[in-house]
Structure 1
Amino acid sequence: MTRRNALLFVTLASLFVFVRPGISAELPERPNFIVVFCDNLGYGDIEPFGSTLHRTPHLNRMATQGRKFTHFCVTAGVCTPSRASLITGCYSQRVGMHRNPRDGHVLRPISPYGLNPDEITIAETLKEQGYATAIIGKWHLGDQPEFLPTRQGFDFFFGVPYSDDMTQTVGQRLGDRLDGKHWPPLPLMENEVVVEAPCDRNGLTKRYTERAMQWIQEHREEPFFLYFPQAMPGSTKTPFSSEAFRGKSKNGPWGDSIEELDWSIGQMMDQLIELGLASKTLVIWTSDNGAPINRDLNDLSRGSNRPLHGRGYTTSEGAFRVPTLMWQPGHVQAGTVCDELVSTMDLLPTFTKLAGGELPQDRTIDGHNIAPLIYSQPDATSPYEAFYYYHQDQLQAVRSGPWKLFLPIDPSAGHPHLRKNAPPQTLLFHLYDDVSCRHNVAAEHPDVVGRLMRLAEAAREDLGDKGRPGKGQRTIGKIDGVPEPQTMTR
């Protein structure tokens, strides 16, 4: 046994004494926070959530030593609005990041739009409490200087400003549409400077991991928040991976990229143990939305959302509910499962509270403090009376408790059950009894339908609906001048 392995064995053995299932852990004081946010990873893509195709031993370890969340939701089926909710603790409709007239539903290169600097971010609330803050990975909330992470509360940024599929080659195919002919080579940035273009996408997972671990090492003596939005599996049909993983899985490039992501979290967990930071650091591993999946549901080469219904980019459970693991030995109970509804919006209020801070009082924050659920406090339940499923500016569904109601609307594209322009239909699913949303029970439960209809109307009043502005909506950021591409020569 090597000295490294011996150290890990002794450390894990000592931690096991304190993390037996069934023992309620106390809330920790001012923990470090790490959020690993994969891109387009599906609910059924990793072993702790049922995959038999991809090898994820480190995530298995994380689940065995930590807590699995089976009803952890994002707020959109696509990148930009989903990420806006994690960063602000709000529905993207509230902060104006659900769509804009230039880009549609996700920001594109050289956009004049981005997350409004007047919004308060999770990095800013933690900086107020003395935390070091960093983002390593994909930003996708604006590529102009005014919107970069370094202007939104992050001390350090290393990564790409938008999706890895928004390359110069793709832009040339778009031509005048979305200013595609002006898209630059995919930029890798350090803070506000492009350091490589086009960046080597095959090396992103490895490079991000190494840089993240370097940053943790440098800030090990102070409280820190690391937002780690991985690039993979990403938005291309053939995800990228380094040579050590390429061609090694049973599921082509998609599987290769996932198995490298598993290696990455294993490296990070080992480092935290070696540095004596494991019990001081809450690590959350999740995804920004579900996998796009193939039309042939038996072809898993573009991911799996099994056993949930639907594909990413929609308002299906397969798009909104994502695989989530939380790990903090000695505090998060080992080998436990939380089946309560929580969301990415809850991270800002939870982290802020655990760090000793208070939420801003001059604006609405939609998320909640879910520390009692993370740390298995007695009688902890979901804080949501209602949770809303929007496709861009159209409210399509509302959930309350176990019930999910698809509203009787003229559906836009992106409806997971009805074709565009299909006749309006009311659909009600019990998400615990009918995990794959196969049985519409609206006719049997008119009282439930009526209650959720009223909750939907409250959302329309506050957050808006197609053609109807909401009273609680705030504005997206927009620069005054002409946007410039992020290039090596800027």
Structure 2
Amino acid sequence: MVWVLLVAFTAMGQKSASKSPNIVLFFIDDLGYGDLSVTGALGYKTPNLDQLAAEGTRFTNFMAAQAVCSASRAALLTGCYPNRVGISGALGPESLVGLNPKEETIAELLKAKGYATGIFGKWHLGSKQEFLPLQQGFDEYYGVPYSHDMWPLHPWQKQAQYPPLYWIENNTSGKEIRNLDEVSELTPTITEKAVGFIKKNKNKPFFLYVPHPLPHVPLAASKRFKGKSEKGIFGDVLMELDWSVGEILKELKSQGLDQNTLVVFTSDNGPWLNYGDHAGSSGGFREGKGTSFEGGQREPTIMRWPGVIPAGRISNKLLSTIDILPTLAKLTGAKLPVEKIDGIEFVDLLKGDDTKTPRQEFLYYYRKNSLEAVRKDNWKLIFPHPGRSYEVSLPGKDGQPGPTSENHEFPKALYDLTRDPGERYNVLEQHPEIVAELEKIADRAREDLGDDLQKKEGKNRRSVGVVERK
């Protein structure tokens, strides 16, 4: 009898261990490295995210693939540097380009393995129907097609002339978002939809992608959180986003799915610093959104999977959002995309093997296709380039942006991130051998992906999706 029970329990354990994990991926907009209380935020608390970190692993050297909305999202979903798939910058509402439907996304790979796939939040990979999430592997979509400042109330409306902003459900435009009161519905509505998706798909594996539009400006919080922080509306927004994460985690636990769900929390790029008190903190790293400095691309990142990912752990290994796709593919047994990707799987490191160093090199591209910096281990070489700087003028306040230099001339520089994570001390002349090594990495990158600054096209870039103007 004891032997029979032992066999039965063993079989149950094997079945549980072989069951495909659910995946919940939070991708927060314009969240700075220092915007969680676990990473040093002041004036408000993020207890649910702090608890997530306590129950999982916090990655302190985790890079967005590019420090701007559309490019960063394309990289996350395809496992490629965004310039490889033809995406750059932040696509406008009337753009005729988007992520090419021929590209294989995380959603498509997991759907082929029997996963239900849903996205609730901001898409920003093309607003024409040909490019919307249902054409990129998702079963369900409810959210906004692009950044919610691309609307008639934008501070630069006279230059931009943005059209009205709408919610989209699957492929159909719905309710217009007309004012800040309606912006305040973004976080609670997305949370409600995400929770409903979990309830509906509790009996099958699912991939839930939650790209929250906030704290990208304009900021708004629901009545439940408005005025609750010591840091004004920005703190209120972060408290509500933390609540959202908590509600989704609570639903996982309620449905008995908590133990078999991998939760990933990260951001698309750093804070939009010229918005002052309506922007977050880069946590002491240099610059912010739209730059190739660490403040633009190093993101707060937490991953939790009880019993699989070590709890209360910190990993300082270099990783990027492009590494998520191949890692999920290996965890789920999904096939990798047919076309070349740039991501490197880090399953062993994720599960606690700190002897593994999956990624040693990283490329910092920006603008259309400009290679602005390269990195190997903790050495970072900046190439001379014109770029955004927040440090040459004072920030704005109360939702109005301060001036920003978009063509500040940055000189060639070498930084040792082990002792200078703020990128303040140029040690170029002290380490010519390191410079030479990093230059070789850059040469290979330019051959592969090109470099506008050196007028090199690159051999292995693919076409962006394009629709005909009607």
Relative to the length of structure 2, the TM-score reads 0.89
Q: Give deviations 1:224-268, integer Å, cap 9, x for gaps.
A: 0011000110133xx111110011111111111111001111111
Residue equivalent to 1:60: 50
User: Is 1:413 aligned to residue 387 of structure 2?
Assistant: yes
Contact 1:46 1:55 in 2 (8 A): yes
Q: How far apart, CA to CA, are the structure 1 residues paired with 2:407 and 2:297?
A: 23
After TM superposition, list the pairs within 5 Å mapping 1:443-454 onto structure 2: 443-454=429-440
Residue equivalent to 1:45: 35
- Computed over aligned residues only, the root mean square deviation of the Cα atoms, in angstroms, reads 2.1
Identity %: 41
Deviates more, 1:415-424 or 1:346-355: 415-424
SS in 1 for 2:190: helix
Deviates more, 1:449-458 or 1:46-55: 46-55
Residue equivalent to 1:434: 420
User: Is 1:156 aligned to residue 132 of structure 2?
Assistant: no
Q: How far apart, CA to CA, are the structure 1 residues paired with 2:238 and 2:410?
A: 39
Q: How far apart, CA to CA, are the structure 2 residues paired with 1:313 and 1:388?
A: 11
Go from structure 1 to structure 2 and tell me whether the alpha carbon gap of 1:341 and 1:468 turns closer, same or farther (over 3 Å shift).
same
Q: 1:189 aligns with which of 137, 160, 168?
A: 168
Contact 2:65 2:320 in 1 (8 A): yes
User: Is 1:142 aligned to residue 130 of structure 2?
Assistant: no
Q: Give deviations 1:38-59, integer Å, cap 9, x for gaps.
A: 1101000111111132211111
Shift of 1:272: 1.2
Deviates more, 1:311-320 or 1:135-144: 311-320
Shift of 1:389: 3.7
After TM superposition, list the pairs within 5 Å mapping 1:359-370 onto structure 2: 359-361=336-338, 363-370=339-346
User: Is 1:131 aligned to residue 105 of structure 2?
Assistant: no
Alignment size in residue pairs: 438
Shift of 1:292: 1.3
Q: How far apart, CA to CA, are the structure 1 residues paired with 2:129 and 2:274?
A: 37
After TM superposition, list the pairs within 5 Å mapping 1:25-424 onto structure 2: 30-98=20-88, 105-170=89-154, 173-174=157-158, 180=161, 183-198=162-177, 200-236=182-218, 239-294=219-274, 300-361=277-338, 363-407=339-383, 409=384, 411-414=385-388
Residue equivalent to 2:411: 425
Q: Give deviations 1:126-180, integer Å, cap 9, x for gaps.
A: 11111100110000000101000011100000000000101134499346x5xx3
Relative to total residues, which structure has the larger strand share, 1 or 2? 2
Unmatched runs of 5 consecutive residues or more in structure 2: 1-15, 393-404
Residue equivalent to 1:4: none
SS in 1 for 2:361: coil
Go from structure 1 to structure 2 and tell me whether the alpha carbon gap of 1:211 and 1:474 turns closer, same or farther (over 3 Å shift).
same
SS in 2 for 1:241: coil
Q: How far apart, CA to CA, are the structure 1 residues paired with 2:360 and 2:108?
A: 25
Contact 1:41 1:290 in 2 (8 A): yes
Unmatched runs of 5 consecutive residues or more in structure 1: 1-25, 99-104, 483-490
Q: How far apart, CA to CA, are the structure 1 residues paired with 2:263 and 2:185?
A: 23
Residue equivalent to 1:15: none
User: Is 1:481 aligned to residue 461 of structure 2?
Assistant: no
SS in 1 for 2:83: coil
AA aligned opposite 1:398: V
SS in 1 for 2:336: coil
Shift of 1:420: 7.0
Contact 1:205 1:260 in 2 (8 A): yes
Go from structure 1 to structure 2 and tell me whether the alpha carbon gap of 1:172 and 1:278 turns closer, same or farther (over 3 Å shift).
same
Q: How far apart, CA to CA, are the structure 1 residues paired with 2:354 and 2:388?
A: 39
